[in-house]
Structure formats: structure tokens, C-alpha cells
Structure 1
Amino acid sequence: MQRPTFHESWYRISALRPRLRAVVQVFRQRFRGKTWHVLRDPANNQFFRLDDAGFRFVGLLDGKRTVGEAWEATAAQLGDRAPTQGEAVQVLGQLYQSNLIAAELPADAEGMFDRFKRRRHKQVGGYLMNIMFAKIPLFDPEHLLERWKPAFMWIFGPVGVALWLALIAAGLLSLGGRAEELLGQAGNILDPSNWILLYAAFGLAKVLHEFGHAFAVKAFGRSEQVEAEVHVLGVMLLVLVPVPYVDATGSWAFRSKWRRAFVGAAGMYVELALAAVAAIVWSQTSPGVVHALAYNVIFIAGVSTILFNANPLIRFDGYYILSDLTETPNLYQRSNDYLKYLVRRFAYRVREPHNPAQSPAERPWLAAYGVCSLVYRVLLFGGILLFVIGKMFFVGALMAAVSIVAWLFVPLGKWVRYLLTSPELARTRGLAQGVSLAAVALVALGVGVVPAPDRQRAAGLVEPDRFEAVFSRSDGFIDAVLPTLSPADQGVLVAAGNRELLARRDRLEARLGLLAAQQRKAEREDVASAQVVRRQHEATAGQLARVRSEIQMLSLSARVGEAGQPAWWVGPDVDRFKGAFVPRGEALGVVASLEDLVIRVAADQHLGPRLRGEEWIGRAVEVKTAGRPDLTYAGRVERVGPAGTEQLPSAALGFAAGGPIATDARRTDGTTAAEAVFEVRVRVLPTASDQPPLRAGQRVMVRFRFADRPLMTQAVLALQQLFQGRVGA
């Protein structure tokens, strides 16, 4: 950090003779091995903390020495550790505003301290306006980093990099062959029941991330022969979620851009190592708290750090890495300034505006980055706001209101002020105002008047229109299964056996033969005994008939439907099912007509009510399949559910099976939606001869086309639905 020794306003306060007020109490405390002095005013319970160097300077102010004399004495005693003139001005200003020093201030000095107060208020206002990423400094970690530096510096050397590569390879190998399980667990990552483990993983990953930056600054400072220091560690409210941050600007003094870039990547470097360790733990543990925590660490430290921290379009690590490697300092501000320059130069016709591009090669680069960054930030922050509104409506609404003020009304106010008062528009003010009004009118016309396509999509599952489920009618072991998608009239669908039934049949047949012989003998010798034997014979014959019936039911044949309507057997995988035991009533497959298909669509809370209110029965829709966006199929709406239900048409539409609909994590069936859905039945129309037909079991997206309406009207409708859904209106 640069600490200029001198200050341009020093002459205004150097002759003052201030002193601490008599009522101020001083407490000496030790924080992490360093001495601090806490000043307290009992009258208003104001506190102020000074380090040892700052207190030495303030302690010399006894009302007799001047500020200049006290500063020179402190510098003579402490050398480079003494406060600079700028720091002395800052300390005096803070003490003055806290009413801890008494001094007769001239007008110019009092104005300077008042400007300091206004600057502090501006910083606080900046924290409030930047509610998405507000930063709150907490303490100076320099002493802690110096103490632990020898233990961690090797991580950023050749040995550390080699071990890091080996650890990453081990983590990837541990996940080999388990991609489906890994992705399947992602559906519940944002479920409220997982929030505690998710935030625990988030906190662990981000603490190590920030200390990775800090120790990298210390490690490379020695190579650069620079006294690199890290003096700020605090908390950033990332969408109201507290996460740690450090000020690693000490790396800006490094001469090597590669070392500066490594400092920017150090947080991700540490997080990916943590993700590799978590992957190994996850692969070696069974379901439980440790297993779930390891998965959350993989998600936070492995996935989110790449998607967000490595993204150069927002001012996280990837942005600073890109700035260093491209040797384009302050890239974000310069790209925005270049876009403003283009407007001032070509739209407002300002004479010789300042061009932030230092060379012709930078011009397209700055323009492209400025546009891409602006678009991405709007989409990102909009998505974050919608997510927060979906989880915590009123908190999200408050954030949205503050964001609209900060990102829309404040820049708009500055723009209007620029158009009305800027001296550089003195020659072309009328032109600039006319162009601006025309641009606003054009945007308003495009958003509020010009109709735009209004389309919404929903996921659905293709099913046969007529089908009959085949159930096991008796307990038994499967001996043979007809291959799936075979014509159902070719013979037995499922053949099963039951040795116990066969043995029972044999015993009953033998007993029946014995009773028949006994009955013939009794009829010759004793009529009364013959009647008893006859009743036993009849009972045994009935038992045998029932056993034979159960044996016959072990083999299931098709009951083909209407004449002329071909039926197909759709059953499980033969190799997996053969030899398995199935109890009575077990579903084994279906016999269905695959030429006549329907789609069962699950419409969410936004789409479902619109379909009910606009009489969609009989209207056409478009159908798309995954992996073939070039193919479009036609359908016709047959029925819209009269009310919402939490039961999905199929588990294939839920998160657990890779579908787009959130499911209730408390239920294991995978068919219970987190929010009520409206079931819509769509008839599949005949396809063109050159298109592959839809197949039963396919997951598709159905697009509903509404009447064109302006974007503003669509946005208002979406907000109304969102509000009604959250407040239950």
C-alpha cells in the first residue's frame, strides 16, 4: 500500500495546538500480540481505537506542542512506522468528529475536517447503495499473516504447485464413473433443509479463499523484494449473506504481471484444492452429515468458484487476472468511460472529449468488454434478485427497490444534471438533449408500445394414449420376459415360476389320487366312511384347482385392445429383470399403442392460470425434444387441469431425474412438486415423413404462444403473478 509521507493540506493544521479532552479515558489492550489504545468519552460513550504509533502521535498533543512538532517527534522516534501526514490528518479528523480532542480550529481546518466527515458519509452511503456487495472492514490481519507466513509460503512454490496438481488429479479420479450420482444430488443443493450445510461449506471455502489471497501477497512480496502488506480483513454482504474478504491490493506493487495474476488466482487455487479433498471424502463415505457436507464443499469450492470467481465480466478474481495479464489496469471503469466517450463524441458532438483508449488496438477491446460486462451484470443481478424474491419475498423486494434507486434513478439523475449543467455541452447542449430525449422515446416506444412475442414453455412427458398396465397376478420368480417394444400378440409377455406352488400341486395331486382310491374302497365296505372321504376329496380337488390357477397366472399374455389397433409390449430390461422375485401386484410393464401419443405437461404457477383463463382447448402448440432443437413437432391442447396439484405426471419431470421442476426434498418418490403445477394434456399430431417420430417416455418442452403484447405489459403481468404467488392474493 502506498503511504505518501506528505499531505497537501498539512499547512492548515500544522500550527494547531490540540489536546485530548480531560474527560477522555484511555485503556491499553492487547489484540493478537499487538498493543492498542482505546479512547472513551464517558459523556457520550464514544470509543476510538488507536495503534501504538497513532497513540504516540496523539499522546504528544498536550495543548502546548503544535501538530507539526508532535508529528516530527513521532517520526524521529518510529521512523517508517510513524503515521504519515495524511494519516495524522485522518486521525485528527476522526477524533474531532468523535468529540475526543479540544482545539480552536480556524475556518479552513474546520472545513477540511467537515469534508472528511462528508467523505465518510459518502462511503457509508456507498455501502448502502451497493447492497449486493457491501463491504465492511473489520481488523488488520497483518500481524497474524506475518506470524503464520513461514508455515504457508511453500504452498505457492514449485513443491506446492506439484502437490496441488496431484491432489486435483486424485479428486477427479475419485469421481470417475460417479457423474450420474454427482449430478443427481445437485437437485437438492438449494433446498431449505440443506441451507445450514451449504452455508457452512460456503463459509469454510471463502475463509480459505481469502487467506489464500493474503498469504500469496506475503509469499510473492519476498520474491518481488517488496514489503507487501495486507491491512484489511472484513465482511462483504454478498446478497445479504456475510462472507469474508481481504484487501490484497499490496500485490499492485509487484513488477511481474504473472505474480499479480497468481495472487488474483490464489483464492481459486486454494478452493479447488479444498474441492479435491471434498471429492475424495465424498467418494469414500456413505450418506450422512459428512457425506452431505463434502458434497456442498464440492459444489461451492469446485463449481461456483469457477462460474463466478473466474468470470472476468464481474469484478471478482477473474476480472483482476484478466486486467493483469492484458496489462489493462482499471479495465471496468475504462471500458465504461470509453462507452461514454463514444456517446459524447458521436451522439453529442462534444469537441475533443477525453478518450480513455490509449491505443487504436484498445478501442474494440474496451467497447466489447464494456457492452458484455453491462449485459452480464444486468442479467446476473436480475437473476439474483428473482432468486431472493422467490425465497424471501419482502427481503428481495427491498433489495430490488434499493437496486432500482442505485442503478437506475441515481445514474439517471447524474445524466440529467450533466445534460443541463455540464460546461462541455455549452456548444451542443440542444443537440445532446434532443438526442437523449429521442433515445428515451425510442426505448419507451419499444418497451411500452411495440408488440413483442409472448411465449412460455413447460416440460412434459410423451405417453401412449391407450395403454394397459400389466401386473403380476401371483408370487414367483421371472423365468423369461418378452423383449420390450415387441408386438404384444406374439405370445407370453412374462413367464414366471414358483417351485413352492409346483410342489404343492404335486402333493395335492398325489393326495387326490389317494383319496380317490380310499373313496372306492369305502363305498364297498362302509357307506358312512365313504361320505367323509368324498368330502375330503372334493376339498382337495378345490385346493388343487386354485393352485393350478395360480400357476397359470404366473404366465402373462397380452390382452390386445381394439381391432386394428396394434399393441406393443413395453417392459423392463430383460437382463435386469430375469430371475428376480416379484410379489403379487407388482407392476411389470404396459401393453400400449405407440402410434397414438399424448404429452402430459406440468405447467407452473405462472403458465397454468394463463392457460385456464384463455380457453386453450383445441389450440396448437409447438413441441421440442432435448438434443434436437432443429426439429419441431405439432400438438393440440386437449385438456387443462381445473386446479393446481403437487403430483407430477411423472418422476422424469423432477429434479432427481434431471427434469426442470423442483421437487419436495422431504418426499422420496420424486413425483411431489415443491409448488403446485397444472397438468395439461396435449395430443401429438402426425409428423412429417422426414422427421423421426416421438417415442413414449421422451421428455419434451412444449411452447405455448400467446397474443403478442409489449414487453412492459408482459413484465407487469409477471410481477403481478409473482406478488400474488408470494402473498397468497
Structure 2
Amino acid sequence: MNLTEALNVALPELPAKTAARRYPRLHPKLVGRERVENGQPLVTCVISGKTWLYQFPPQQWQLLQLFDGERSYQEISDLFFDQTGIRYGEQEIRDMADNLDAMEFWYKTPLEENLSLKQKLHDHRSQRQQNKSKYGDVSHLQFSAWDPDEYFDRIYPYLKWVYSRWFTLLTIASFVLMSYIFFARWDEIGRDTLQFYNFTEKGFYDIAEFWLLACFVLFFHESAHGLTCKHYGGHVHRMGFHLIYFTPAFFTDVTEAWVYADRRERLATIVSGVWTEMIFCAVATPIWYVTPNGAWIHDAAYKIILITGVGVIFFNWNPLIKLDGYYLLTELFSLGELKEDSTLYLAGLVKRYLWRLPVEVPYVPKRRRLGYVIFAALSGLYSYSLLLFFARFIGNIFHHFSPEWAFIPATLVGLRLFKTRIQTLVKFMKTVYLDKKERWRAWFTPQRRLAAGALLLFLFAVPWTRESVQGRFILEPASFAVVRAAVPGIVSEVSADEGQAVAAGAPFIRLRNLQLESEAARSEADLRTATARARQAQLTYTDFAAEKQRQQMAAQEQLLRDELSRLDISSPVAGRVLSPRLRDRLGSFVTAGTELAQVGALDSMRARVYVPEFAVRKVSVGAAASLHLDSFFASRSARVISLEPASSEIEAGLVHETPYKGIRPPAFYVATLLIPNPQS
């Protein structure tokens, strides 16, 4: 919470006061640099420690140098005319100074700062009286209580080697190795990344762990931005911590990079945050790859991979929201405030040409108009999708504790997220109504009103919705096999993990049985001896029982060979391994008949839906159904293929068990649905 917010709570209402102001004066901490942007010379400047970034043509920059706090506007006008031969009127200079004052450009004495603060408090209180909240704005909490410039000054001498050529080449090589491991193990990493960001099955410990990992990574991400700005000559005076809807986010003000650095250096400042996270991922990936399962460093490295790998690319380098990818795009193509300008342009087009409102469409160069429309539409769609995702995210967290009532906090969060947007929509519709009111009244003649009323009655009378039944279900492969040990032995090798595809007849578990292997080796040696005796007997026409003994030994050796082949365990059907943590069995002894794994063919899935007895009359074979999994947004279509004639108990965990004896669960009938799943 900043000082203004604290004083706003603690101090009584302050009357707005004015004081005699001196003439404007340039801030002593103002730094600027001239560069060429889009073929035009511009002076980019910033006040060290402030958040505003200013750009002026060289002519205006020269004019600003004359503001020393003593000269009047007329004196500045005359002096500038003497220097350049260009005449600015006194009122023009006064208007320019007032506009810059609104952007906190001029230097203020401590007394003027206090008066400005009081005026801000007064305006802020007036706004709160119109839109008052008991708890303030909990959607965005910011904590920034220190100047990090000294911190970066201390660490830069020890870390400046990270900007050397050899380290850059080393990191690129590590990225190549990381990519190779990602491709080799993508069936695990890709699936686990989705699972890592799915909070349906996460408890309090998992959520706290995710939160702490995010804070750890984000701190180094933002520190990299600040350190790179320092490397290119800028200063970093603001760094802090956000809670955006209670989600952790750090921030670093690197505005001075746009003054001291050229375009290549500014791009490096933007990319440095993601680059640092990728370095973390590149270090963690080989550690996870070579360390044994179950080791703490193996598990920790894998979680670093999940939070810094694909998530970084998807969130930070996506240009549709104002994160690193957005600023990278705007810097590469010199687009300035792309999101704001494109949104205003698209909104102006919609208001003017769709709703026929008397508004002006902001000017956009012709070559950029189509791109602005596409970007504004995609950016808006993506932003709203993120808000919906966050509401669903909250619902998933509460779903872990109460599946039946999780929709309430999810709905409340959704309303809170979309509150301002709903208010904006209501105001816009009021504007449309006031603009079209007279025209609509003239169009709605008594005959048309009667026709509209009849149409509404018809629409209300038509049964638009079908009868539906809801029920919890279990999703499983339509066909699967249970793989068991045919002979006793010690598990010596497991070549497949959960979710990995296996072919029919291909061994993926290997057992060792030293006694069986010894007997097989002894039998093979005995067979060779018996074979030699039988051949000798045939040559000498003696010992006619030798051939019979050889045949017995051959049958025994074949029997033991068959037993040995059963030590290599395979699946009778092609599919994916469904059993978790198969490698935990390594080194353990299993007896004959022990279940080792389950393999299911996922190209076709079967859902067993538990339908309450009172609703079973609405279900029939061939009826259409829609399945919604807790961990996915989209639903899957299916059809009922069978309905059991007898009731059965519902599987444990599908419904919440009540402690009250007067509330008993109904009898359930199982409806079986078949769902094609070509992507497995």
C-alpha cells in the first residue's frame, strides 16, 4: 500500500487548497537522449525515479531548456525567438507547461509536493464517495517500499560476466540440450505441464508450493530486467511486489533503458527476464534427466522445469497481453501503445459503423488499420479467456474441498472480474438507447408492438430445451488388459511409465529369477550331453535308451525355456500404461499372478454414468449425452449404448458423503456411454 492510500485512510477530509505557484522549472534528475524513431529525430527523456517516459521533437526539447523557474512565459517566448527565429505565443507556452504539469514533468519543492498530495487525496476521496468499497481494491495490491538501484549497483560487478559472448554461447548450447530432452520426453513433460496448472486435485500444500515457486522464479525474472537496464547505463529506482487477484507478480521499472539504450539494448532488456527463466529450465532439465527417481533433487528439478518451461513461452512471450512478448513486439515495430490504440480504433469503428453513433474514429495510418483490427480482436478475446480461466481456476481450487458448491466462489470471482466491463457495457447500451430512442419509438407502431408481443409469447411457449439428467461418471478405456506376473521373480527393468504407449506383445517389464535361470542353464547342458550320447549310441548300435533320455531332456529344456520367456512381460493389447509409478517396483519380488500394470486402448473411451433412480426414466439407449471433465473447459459428445437393468452402489469418491442419517443417497443405475478418442 503506498503513502497516498495510507493517508487516505488515516487523515480526515482535506479541503482543496491552492498556492501561489512559481514558474515551471526543469527537474534536476531529468535525463534525455536524442535518437531517430521511424526516420524522425526524437528526444526520449525520463525523470530518474519516476514512471513517466517523455518524447519531444528536438525543437520542443530546446524550448524546454529555457524553463528555469524564474523566466516568465513571455520571456521564454522572446528568448526562444532570439535563438531560433521561431515564435511561440505566450498562451501556447502556458498550455504546453500546464499539460506537462499534469504529467508530473516539472520540478516541485517539498511544499508544492505536499499541496499536490493534498489535492490528490481530496480527488481520491471524492472518487471513493461515488464508488466506495469497504475493503478497497483487492484485485490489485502493490507493495513497493525500497529503491533497488543500490542493490543492483552492488551485485552488478559480480554478475556482469553473464553479458559476455562466451556465456551467451554457452546458454544457447544449453538451450539446445534442453530442447533435445524436451522432445525425447515430451509425452511426460507436456502432460505434466497441464496437470501442474490444474488445481482440481491440489491441496493446501500443493497450492502453497506453487505460490512459493512462482515467487522464487519471478524474483529472478524481474531482477534480470533491472540488471540488464543497469548494464546499459540506466538506473532502476522502483521494484516491488504485486498481488493481482491474490496471484503473485513482481515488477521492475526499467524506464531509463529507453533513454540510455539503443534498440538492440532495449530488446535485450525486454528478453532478459524470459532468458533467465530459460536458463533455470536449461540447468534443471539435465539434472532431472540424470538423477535417480525419488531423489529430492530429481523432484525439485522437475518442478522447476514445469514452472519455467512451456509456461514461460505461453504466458510471457504471448504478445496479446502486456507482458514481455507484447513489449518485444511494440519495440521491434515501433508501435507505441499498440493495445490502447488498436482497442480505441476498433471500438470507434464498431460505434460509428455498426451502431451508427455520432463518434469520431481515431486516426490510424492506412497500412496499419487491418493489423490494428485483428490485434484488438485477438487481444480482447485472449484477455477475456484469461479472466474466464482465472474464474475456473478458483473453482478448481474450491472443487477440491466441495465439488457441489465450488461454482459459488467461481461465480463470485467471475462477477468481480467482469464488474467494470459489465458496467461499461451497461453505460454503452444506455448511450445507444438514448441515441436511438426516438427512432425506435417511431418505428414501434401499435401493429408492430402487437406482432412483437405475439412473437415473444410464441418464443416463451416453444420448448427450446430438452429434458436432461445429470450424473457423476467414471471414464475408462473401452478395452484394457491387466498384466500379471506369470512366474515369480524380481523386477529388474521397467521401460514404460504411466501414459506411455506400448505395442501388443512388446515387453516393457523384465523379471529376474536366478533359480529358474540356473535350472534352465543346467537343463540346456544336460540336453547337450544327452544329445551327444544319443549320437554315439546310434553310431555304435548300443544303449538304445539314450535317444529316449534325450527326448525327455529336450522336453524339459523347452518347458524351462518357456518359463524363462515369461520373465519378459508384455501387454496382449496395444495401448497406454494406466498404472502409476511402475518404476517403484524395481528391485521388488513378485509372486506368480501378481498384478503389475494395466494397459488400456485409449482410441475409444467408456464412461459409466451413475443415474439416480428418480431420473432413470429420462434415459434411453441411443440418447445423446455431453461429458464434462473437471479438468477441461470443453465438453465431449457421446451416446448411451447400454443401461443396466439393476441398480448398483455408486463408486466411492464420486459424491459427497453426508453424516446425516436422514439424508440417504438414492439407488443408481449405470448408463454406459462410448466416446471416440482418435487422439488417444
TM-score (norm 2): 0.54
Provide the rounded CA distance (Å) in 2 between the counterparts of 1:127 and 1:233: 25
Match of 2:591 among 583, 587, 592: 583
> Residue 232 of structure 1 corresponds to which residue in structure 2?
238
Number of equivalences = 461
Q: Indicate the SS of the match to 1:13.
A: coil
The one-letter code of the counterpart of 1:347 is L
Task: Please tell me whether residue 405 in structure 1 is matched to residue 419 in structure 2.
Answer: yes
> Residue 323 of structure 2 corresponds to which residue in structure 1?
316
Provide the rounded CA distance (Å) in 2 between the counterparts of 1:199 and 1:417: 42
> Residue 621 of structure 2 corresponds to which residue in structure 1?
618
Provide the rounded CA distance (Å) in 1 between the counterparts of 2:388 and 2:230: 37
Task: Please tell me whether residue 376 in structure 1 is matched to residue 379 in structure 2.
Answer: no
**Is the contact between residue 344 and residue 353 of structure 1 (CA under 8 Å) also seen in structure 2?**
no
Provide the rounded CA distance (Å) in 1 between the counterparts of 2:359 and 2:125: 36
Q: Indicate the SS of the match to 2:607.
A: strand
Task: Please tell me whether residue 277 in structure 1 is matched to residue 283 in structure 2.
Answer: yes
Provide the rounded CA distance (Å) in 2 between the counterparts of 1:274 and 1:403: 33
Q: CA deviation at 1:363?
A: 1.0
Q: CA deviation at 1:308?
A: 0.6
* CA deviation map 1:472-511 (0-9, x unaligned): 7876999xxxxx989xxxxxxxxx97987999xxxxxxxx
> Residue 478 of structure 2 corresponds to which residue in structure 1?
462
**Is the contact between residue 612 and residue 642 of structure 1 (CA under 8 Å) also seen in structure 2?**
no
In 2 relative to 1, CA 232–327 (structure 1 residues): closer, same or farther, beyond 3 Å?
A: same
* CA deviation map 1:143-200 (0-9, x unaligned): 2223333333443454442232123234345557444444565576353353344333
Q: CA deviation at 1:311?
A: 0.8
Task: Please tell me whether residue 289 in structure 1 is matched to residue 296 in structure 2.
Answer: yes
Task: Please tell me whether residue 91 in structure 1 is matched to residue 113 in structure 2.
Answer: yes
Q: CA deviation at 1:293?
A: 1.9
Provide the rounded CA distance (Å) in 2 between the counterparts of 1:15 and 1:633: 71
The one-letter code of the counterpart of 1:570 is P
Provide the rounded CA distance (Å) in 1 between the counterparts of 2:149 and 2:390: 34
Q: Indicate the SS of the match to 1:85.
A: coil
Provide the rounded CA distance (Å) in 1 between the counterparts of 2:334 and 2:671: 56
The one-letter code of the counterpart of 2:211 is Y
Which residues of structure 2 form unaligned runs of 5+? 1-15, 23-47, 50-68, 71-103, 399-405, 444-451, 492-502, 506-514, 523-555, 564-570, 576-587, 628-635, 655-667
In 2 relative to 1, CA 167–158 (structure 1 residues): closer, same or farther, beyond 3 Å?
A: same
Q: Indicate the SS of the match to 2:269.
A: helix
Q: Indicate the SS of the match to 1:570.
A: coil
> Residue 630 of structure 2 corresponds to which residue in structure 1?
none
Task: Please tell me whether residue 325 in structure 1 is matched to residue 332 in structure 2.
Answer: yes
The one-letter code of the counterpart of 2:362 is N
> Residue 164 of structure 1 corresponds to which residue in structure 2?
171
Q: Indicate the SS of the match to 1:619.
A: coil
Q: CA deviation at 1:347?
A: 3.2
In 2 relative to 1, CA 285–617 (structure 1 residues): closer, same or farther, beyond 3 Å?
A: same
Q: CA deviation at 1:319?
A: 1.2
Q: Indicate the SS of the match to 1:311.
A: coil
Provide the rounded CA distance (Å) in 2 between the counterparts of 1:432 and 1:301: 56
The one-letter code of the counterpart of 1:681 is T
Q: CA deviation at 1:376?
A: 1.3
Question: Larger Rg: 1 or 2?
Answer: 1
Provide the rounded CA distance (Å) in 2 between the counterparts of 1:432 and 1:129: 40
> Residue 301 of structure 1 corresponds to which residue in structure 2?
308
> Residue 219 of structure 1 corresponds to which residue in structure 2?
231
> Residue 602 of structure 1 corresponds to which residue in structure 2?
607
**Is the contact between residue 139 and residue 232 of structure 1 (CA under 8 Å) also seen in structure 2?**
yes
The one-letter code of the counterpart of 2:354 is A
> Residue 219 of structure 2 corresponds to which residue in structure 1?
207
Provide the rounded CA distance (Å) in 2 between the counterparts of 1:450 and 1:152: 70
**Is the contact between residue 477 and residue 582 of structure 1 (CA under 8 Å) also seen in structure 2?**
yes
**Is the contact between residue 285 and residue 302 of structure 2 (CA under 8 Å) also seen in structure 1?**
yes
Q: CA deviation at 1:460?
A: 4.2
**Is the contact between residue 489 and residue 589 of structure 2 (CA under 8 Å) also seen in structure 1?**
yes
Which residues of structure 1 form unaligned runs of 5+? 1-9, 17-50, 53-70, 73-81, 97-110, 223-227, 436-440, 479-483, 487-495, 504-547, 556-568, 574-579, 625-631, 649-676, 685-697, 703-729
Of 281-290 and 359-368, deviating more is: 281-290
Task: Please tell me whether residue 681 in structure 1 is matched to residue 667 in structure 2.
Answer: no
Provide the rounded CA distance (Å) in 2 between the counterparts of 1:151 and 1:639: 71
Q: CA deviation at 1:13?
A: 2.0
In 2 relative to 1, CA 345–285 (structure 1 residues): closer, same or farther, beyond 3 Å?
A: same
> Residue 506 of structure 1 corresponds to which residue in structure 2?
none
Instruction: Let me know the Cα RMSD of the aligned residues.
Output: 5.7
Q: CA deviation at 1:588?
A: 9.8
Provide the rounded CA distance (Å) in 2 between the counterparts of 1:83 and 1:502: 91
> Residue 195 of structure 1 corresponds to which residue in structure 2?
207
**Is the contact between residue 146 and residue 238 of structure 2 (CA under 8 Å) also seen in structure 1?**
yes
> Residue 637 of structure 1 corresponds to which residue in structure 2?
641
In 2 relative to 1, CA 475–366 (structure 1 residues): closer, same or farther, beyond 3 Å?
A: closer
Q: Indicate the SS of the match to 1:139.
A: coil
In 2 relative to 1, CA 137–571 (structure 1 residues): closer, same or farther, beyond 3 Å?
A: closer
Q: How does 1:210-609 map to 2 (within 5 A)?
A: 210-220=222-232, 222=233, 228-253=234-259, 256-286=262-292, 287-350=294-357, 353-357=360-364, 359-392=365-398, 393=406, 396-408=410-422, 410-416=423-429, 418-419=431-432, 430=438, 459-463=475-479, 570=572, 583-586=591-594, 601-602=606-607
In 2 relative to 1, CA 90–396 (structure 1 residues): closer, same or farther, beyond 3 Å?
A: farther
Provide the rounded CA distance (Å) in 2 between the counterparts of 1:621 and 1:587: 36
TM-score (norm 1): 0.51
In 2 relative to 1, CA 213–617 (structure 1 residues): closer, same or farther, beyond 3 Å?
A: same
* CA deviation map 1:48-90 (0-9, x unaligned): xxx99xxxxxxxxxxxxxxxxxx99xxxxxxxxx995357477
Identity rate of aligned residues, in percent? Answer: 19
Q: CA deviation at 1:299?
A: 1.2
